[in-house]
Amino acid sequence: MPRARSSTVPSLFLLACLALLPRMSWALGLADVTGWAQSTWTAAVDTAKTGKDDLYFSGYTWHDPGTYTAAKRATLNSHAWGIGWGRHRINADGNEDMVYALIFSDSHWNAEPVVGYAYQWMFDNDSPVGFGLGYTLALTSRADIFNNIPFPIALPLASIRFGRFSLYGTFIPKVNSNLNNGNVAFFFGRYAF
108 belongs to the catalytic site: no
Instruction: Report the domain count for the chain.
Output: 1
Domain membership of residue 23 (yes or no) is: no
Domain membership of residue 42 (yes or no) is: no
- State how far the Cα of 188 lies from the Cα of 57, in Å rounded to an integer: 6
Catalytic residue among 54, 63, 88, 159: 63
What share of the chain has pLDDT > 70, as a percent? 83
The kind and range of the H/E element at 53 are strand 52-63
Domain membership of residue 3 (yes or no) is: no
Domain membership of residue 95 (yes or no) is: yes
Query: Whole-model pTM?
Result: 0.80
Domain membership of residue 32 (yes or no) is: no
106 belongs to the catalytic site: yes
Catalytic residue among 58, 88, 97, 107: 107
6 belongs to the catalytic site: no
Domain membership of residue 94 (yes or no) is: yes
CB 90 within 8 A of CB 119: no
The domain of 57 spans: 51-192
Collect the ranges in the chain with pLDDT lower than 70: 1-32
C-alpha 148: how far from its chain's center?
16
Domain membership of residue 145 (yes or no) is: yes
Catalytic residue among 54, 106, 141, 166: 106
For the segment 119-138, what is each residue's pLDDT rounded down to a tens digit?
A: 999 998 778 899 999 999 99
For the segment 69-99, what is each residue's pLDDT rounded down to a tens digit?
A: 999 999 999 999 999 999 999 999 999 999 9
SS3 at position 128: coil
At 145, which CATH number? 2.40.160.20
DSSP-derived letter for residue 174 is -
